[in-house]
Structure formats: structure tokens, C-alpha cells
Amino acid sequence: MAVVNVTHLTYHYAHQSKPVLNDLNVTFPTGKFSLLTGASGGGKSTLLKLMAGLMPLSDTGTITYDGRPWSSIPAGQRSQTVAMLFQEPSLQFTMDTVENECRFVLENLQVDPATMPDRIAASLAFIGITALRHRNLMTLSGGEQQKVALAIIVAMDSDVILLDEPFASIDPIARQVLLDKLVALCTDHGKTIVLADHDLSGYAEWVDHLAVLEHGQVNLLSPSETQARFANFTPAKLAIHPAMPRPTNPIVLQGSQIRLYQGDRDLIKPQNLAFYEHKTTLITGPNGSGKSTLFRALVRLGHYQGTFNYHETNIQKIRQRRYARQVSLMFQTAAAQFLNVTVAEELALSLKYGRTKDFPSERIDQLLERLDLSGRHDQVLYSLSSGQQKKLQLLCMLIMAPPVLLLDEPFKGLDLASVTTVVAILREIQAEFKLTLILVSHQLSGLDDLVDYHLQLDHQHLQYVGVFHES
Amino acid sequence: MNPSLKLAWVVLLALELSFTQVWTVNVVLIVICLALMIWRRVAIKRLLWLTGVPLFFASALVWSLTLQGSASHHFLIVIFTRMFVYVYLGGLFTQTTDPLTLTRSLEQNAHLPAKFAYGFLAAFNLMPKIKAEVASIKAAALMRGQVLHVWSPQLYFKAILTAMHWSDQLSLAMVSHGFVEGAPRTHAAVIPLRHRDWWLTGGSLVLIQVGLFIGLP
């Protein structure tokens, strides 16, 4: 049991002029489930890492556990005071199997080897994953990995459990299981839980005071304000009015008996699937349901069963080098797309092999200006903000202008003004080169003009939804 | 056999054989390694790989040395068999040693810092993820019209960048899982270092010394 007290905490990153946390004060009470929310890049991760002692405090401020500063807790007891569950499920394990990871953790805590098997069995049973005990961690799905990570924290018996967007890539069912276990941990076992999430659905029952991190400070909302926030947070409203595709529409990509899977779990059960030429198709569905997996299969980066035909030719039979220029993917993480160091080099690469004639330097400058990226030619890509990276990534892919462009969350981390600009540019370039766009997006406002068709992924099945138009 | 001793044995032997020129000892070692690998049920396909690859390189080396014409017959046989000894010793070690047991042994028997031992193991376990990442980088390049080969520096630049990010993340996760550098730990599995292991290592090394001495020209 521990109360976490954060007082007058200020934190500066070396390369930023403004502090990300500014004289922040907050208390997280024992046995409570605290939900921390705020814009992405607003400092939620920084606060959690500082609380977990994973980053040293830099400027001013103190963080105490039951009045004891983290630094005064003996090193061997720190992980039993506070433990953290990370956003990326696969990067939090040292060992190969679930059991070996549990052993490693208990060895670190100097637990007597004789008591280890029982303790491991008990914590796996608590989370309901006894069957995973001897499985290899790398073969588990993201949801299963997060369950293992939570079971490990249970085995460590840490008083304070911090979770940094733990549900970002896992499916709704796994999310619900984890949420139930977390609630049991704080109500029945008196654990202090602080969870950072920007998706507020499903918490209304458990959270009294929503903690909002804004402008470097945490604001605790009153119960009525909190409930009002939750009520307002219905999953992004579909402000689009897509039509149903007509049977006569030309098809660019045709899948037959496509099955997508992760380990032994079906993401999409065998089905036929068509994508229509020169149209924009929006794919929606819950986190972890298989949208990115579908994209990876379409660009031949992932496994699938069945066949995909591109203009009637099986995509596996087309030369990789040629196919990559026909069907390209704008990756969800901008950094995955970049191959160089500076903005100018990255643009130059696209101009070298892309539609150079259609993009003279005046047009590039004009596009950069519209995207609010001008004057950054010599800047290192990785020092751009995530929104700037996203916009530059899009521009690089649009200069390539492949006949089919898949866009995985192209508006992630963009403010509304940027979304409007990006949508406008997408539409212009799509019309100019007759591109087929297929996009996955959680952000749905401002897309009505762009989207022709809407493909919904639900219960392991992809289906077009919309209204039928008389021709 | 104790993995740390086995590692030391393999390294010592390989080092010694680089400075001696007794092909009979090489042949005896090749036969012993092969026999041990077959006894430990190493897959036939693996054995063929372990034989084919050195066969190619050893033949190429001997052929080029013959063309040069200055090397003696004896030297050529030594060079040819030496290549096999290296590969078979390495094969025997990797195919009969579990990385986790080796890590535990290095920590418990060889008293290597735990941070080094487990850091290595964590990276080893990330292999499948690293492979996927390299495929991703290559695909991203192809989509931009650029072909990245195994020898392209850009591939390594990107891979290293990703690896640096992952290693930061992994070390945070290790700390969060209670790992403290230099702190005492208990051991879920104790890796024994028996008298038998010492006798086996020492005895075989002595035998090889005798063989090398007798076989000296």
C-alpha cells in the first residue's frame, strides 16, 4: 500500500525550451484506480517514467511513496514499491518463455527458489493465463504479452502499478480482461494504480477523479466533471456518408479466401475482399483487430492465407521491386519510413525515384509551406515533432505517388487544422494521379470529402457499409 | 558438461590449433566432434550445412594456395582440416548448449556481471523481431525506389537506430522487473560445476597436447 505524492515537479528535456512538466502537483491515493489523460506528447509518459524512477529527476520537485522519496528506498525494494507496464508489449521481457521471465524477476527480488513455482503459478492463475506458462513470449499476441507483463507485476507484488497506454495495440476483449484484473488489484488488494490513456471508453464505472495533464500540470476533475468527460467520449462519431460500392466498379486488389492470423488466433476468418480502383476506402475497427496486419499482408510483409490479386495477378508472383512501387504503405510510425538523416535528404530520395517532373521545387516549397514545414531543410528527421514527422512522411509518399497507397493512421498526432490541410493535399494529388487510397484511421472528423467507401472490421470479418445510391 | 567450461575448452583449442600444424590431431578432433554431434541428435540438415559451407571455403583456399605453388603438401592438408575443426568445434558448442543455461552458467560459474549476461540473452531472444524489422526497412526502401542490399550502409544505419531505441526500452523493462546492477540475486536453477567437468576438460586438453607433441614433424 502506498500513496504517491508528486510535489512541485518540473521537468525539462535537454533539446526543448519549454518544460514538459511545469510545477506539477498531484496525489494518487492508495487502493484507487487513477486515470491520467491528456494530449499525446503532453508529458504523460514522462510523468510515469519519473514516478517509476526510470528517469532521474532533473529540475525541481519530489516524488514520494508514503512519504519516502524513491531515492531513499533501498535498490532491492524499489520494484516492489513501484512497477511499470509499458505501451509496447513485446519489448519488456528479457527471457524466452513466460516461466523463465517470471523466474528472472523473482531471482532479481532474491526470492527463495523453493517458493518460486507456487508464486509463479498463483500469479498466472490470477490473470487467467496458466496455459501460457511454457509458451515462448515472442509467439504471443500483444494482448497475451500485456497479460504476462501484468502477471509479472502481480508476482512482484508491487504496491504501485503504473501503466503507460497499455491497451494501444490490443483487442477489446483482452482490454476488458486486463481492466477487470486491474480493478480487482486495487479494490481487493489495495494496490495504487495509475493508468495513462487517451481513449476514455470503458472507465466510467471505476474512476472517480479523472486526472488531466495539460500545459505541464495535472488537473483533478470533480466526480461530476469526470462523468461528463466520459459521457462525451463516445468513440469518434462517423461524420462520413460513404456509399456502397457498385458491382461494376473496377477492382484493383482482389482477395480470395483471405485469412489473417496471429499465432493460432484468427484475426480475419477466410473471406473474399475487393478494393476498388481510384477510390478512397476507409477501414475502421477496434485496436488489435487486424487492420495493420491486413496492410502488412498487402505489401507482402506479413503472413496470410488465401490469395491477393493485383490487377488479376497474384501479388506473390510479381517481382518484389516492381510490386513495392505499385502498392506502397505509409507506415503507422513515421520513423519506419525514413531512410536518411535530414529533411532535405529524405525529400531528395523521393524526388530521385518518384514523379520528379510533377514536383518541381516550387511546388515542393509550396507544399512544405502549406504543411507548415518550410525552413526545416537541414533539420534532423528525428528531432521533428511527431506531427511534423507524420506530415513529411506523407509528402514523401505522395511524391512517389504509387497507384495504390495504403495509409496506416496518417492523421495520428495531428491537430485539426493540420488534418484539414493534409486531407486537401491528399485529395488534390489523388485526383491528379488517379490514385487508389486505402486508409486506416481512428481520427474520423474532416474525412467526409475524402472517403468514398467504408470497410468495417468487426467480429473477424471485413464488410463494406454505407448507403446504396441509385445510378 | 558445464557450459562455461565447454566454452573455454572450445576457445582454448581453437586458439592452440591456429599455432600448430598437426593434421592428424585435426582429423581426430573432427571425428570426435562429428560423433558427439550425432550422439546429441543434431539434425542431419544442420550437419550438412556445417559440412558444406567449410568444404566450399576450404577447397577454395587450398585451390588458390596450390595455384600459387609455394605451399607444401603438408601445409595444405593442415589448412584444409583446420577449417573443419573450427566450424565443427563451433557447431558442437552452439548445437549442444542452450543459451539460457550458458547465461546462467556464465553468471554463476564464471562470475560474469549479470547485466552483461542477461543483456546478451535479451538481445538473443529479440532475434525474430530484429529479422522482421530488417524486412520492414528493406520494404520501406523499395517503396521509395531504393534497393537495400546486405552490404548497404543505410540498412545498418536504420537497424542500429532501431536497436538503440529497443535497447533503451529493454533496459528500462529490466529495471522495472526488479533487476539492479551488481545486486545479489537468487538462482531458480543452479548450474553445477562438477569435478567430472574439470577432469573431462583437463584430461582431453592433456591428451591433445600429447597428440600434438607426438605428431610434431
Over the stretch A3-57, which tens digit does the pLDDT of each residue have?
999 999 999 887 777 888 999 999 999 988 999 998 767 788 899 999 999 888 8
pLDDT given for residue B88 in this prediction: 93
Once rounded to an integer, what is the mean pLDDT over residues A375-392? 87
pLDDT given for residue A198 in this prediction: 78
Min Cα separation A375/chain B (Å):
24
Surface of B (156-185) touching A: CB under 8 A = 158, 161, 166, 169-170, 172-180, 183-185
Q: What angle do CA B205, B206, B207 make, to 5 degrees?
A: 90
Min Cα separation B29/chain A (Å):
33
User: At A328, is the secondary structure helix, strand, or coil?
Assistant: strand
pLDDT given for residue B7 in this prediction: 93
> Phi/psi at A208 (nearest 5 deg)?
-85, -45
How many whole angstroms separate alpha carbon B189 and alpha carbon A39? Answer: 46
Give pTM, 2 decimals: 0.83
Once rounded to an integer, what is the mean pLDDT over residues B117-140? 88
pLDDT band at B195 (very low <50, low <70, confident <90, very high): very high
Once rounded to an integer, what is the mean pLDDT over residues A295-322? 94
Once rounded to an integer, what is the mean pLDDT over residues A78-82? 90
Q: Which residues of A touch B172 (CB under 8 A)?
A: 49, 54, 84, 86
Lookup: cell for B161: 537506430
Min Cα separation B164/chain A (Å):
12
pLDDT band at A256 (very low <50, low <70, confident <90, very high): very high
**A238 pLDDT exceeds 80?**
no
Average pLDDT taken over every residue of chain B: 89
* Helices A172-189, A116-127: inter-axial angle, 10-degree rounding: 120
Min Cα separation B108/chain A (Å):
13
pLDDT given for residue A192 in this prediction: 93
Q: Give me the residue from B129, B143, B146 closest to A138, CB to CB.
A: B129
Q: What angle do CA A259, A149, A137 make, to 5 degrees?
A: 50
More confident residue, A101 or B215: A101
Counted across chains A and B, CB pairs separated by less than 8 A come out at: 147
Q: Which residues of B touch A108 (CB under 8 A)?
A: 177-180, 183, 185
Q: Give me the residue from A91, A100, A400 closest to B100, CB to CB.
A: A100
Min Cα separation A152/chain B (Å):
8
Q: Which residues of A touch B170 (CB under 8 A)?
A: 91-92, 94
pLDDT given for residue A180 in this prediction: 92
Residues 6+ apart with CB under 8 A from B178: A78, A79, A80, A83, A105, A108, A109, A156
Please spell the DSSP secondary structure of A205-224, one letter per residue.
TT-SSEEEEETTEEEEPPHH
What's the ipTM?
A: 0.83
Q: Which site among B144, B157, B169 would you substitute to test the A interface, given the most A Cβ atoms closer than 10 Å to its Cβ?
A: B144
pLDDT given for residue A455 in this prediction: 94
Query: Please, are residues A136 and A101 in contact by the beta-carbon 8 Å criterion?
Result: no
Select from A150, A34, A50 the least CA-distant residue to A101: A150
What are the angstrom distances between the C-alpha of B164 and each of A79, A93, A273, B160?
24, 16, 39, 6
**A104 pLDDT exceeds 90?**
yes
Surface of B (68-107) touching A: CB under 8 A = 99-100
pLDDT band at A471 (very low <50, low <70, confident <90, very high): very low
Q: Give me the residue from B100, B139, B187 closest to A107, CB to CB.
A: B187
| Residue type at B147 in one-letter notation | V
**A326 pLDDT exceeds 90?**
yes
pLDDT-above-70 percentage for chain A: 97
Average pLDDT taken over every residue of chain A: 89
CA torsion B8-B14-B18-B24 (nearest 10°) is: 130
pLDDT given for residue A444 in this prediction: 78
Which residues is A196 bridged to in the sheet? A36, A164
Please spell the DSSP secondary structure of A425-450, one letter per residue.
HHHHHHHHHT-EEEEE-S--TT-TTT
pLDDT band at A234 (very low <50, low <70, confident <90, very high): low
**For B35, what's the count of Cα atoms within 13 Å in the CB-facing half-sphere?**
6
Min Cα separation B178/chain A (Å):
5
Once rounded to an integer, what is the mean pLDDT over residues A172-177? 84
Q: Which stretch of A83-92, A238-247, A399-408, B15-24 has the lowest confidence by average pLDDT? A: A238-247
In the DSSP assignment, the letter for residue A139 is G
| Maximum alpha-carbon separation in chain A | 75
**A152 pLDDT exceeds 70?**
yes
Select from A234, A200, A223, A259 the least CA-distant residue to A35: A200
**Sequence spans of domains, chain B:** 3-107+188-213, 114-176
In the DSSP assignment, the letter for residue A337 is T
Determine, for residues A339 and B178 on separate chains, whether the beta-carbon distance falls below 8 Å.
no
**B70 pLDDT exceeds 90?**
no
**A288 pLDDT exceeds 80?**
no
Determine, for residues B125 and A80 on separate chains, whether the beta-carbon distance falls below 8 Å.
no
In the DSSP assignment, the letter for residue A244 is P
Select from A192, A201, A225, A190 the least CA-distant residue to A211: A225
pLDDT given for residue A240 in this prediction: 75
**A449 pLDDT exceeds 80?**
yes
How many whole angstroms separate alpha carbon A425 and alpha carbon A430? Answer: 8
Q: Which residues of A touch B101 (CB under 8 A)?
A: none
Query: Please, are residues B156 and B162 in contact by the beta-carbon 8 Å criterion?
Result: no
Q: Which site among A45, A98, A108, A262 would you substitute to test the B interface, given the most B Cβ atoms closer than 10 Å to its Cβ?
A: A108
- For residues B174-192, one letter each, b for 16 or more C-beta atoms within 10 angstroms of the residue's C-beta and e for the rest, the string is bbbbbbbeeeebbebeebe
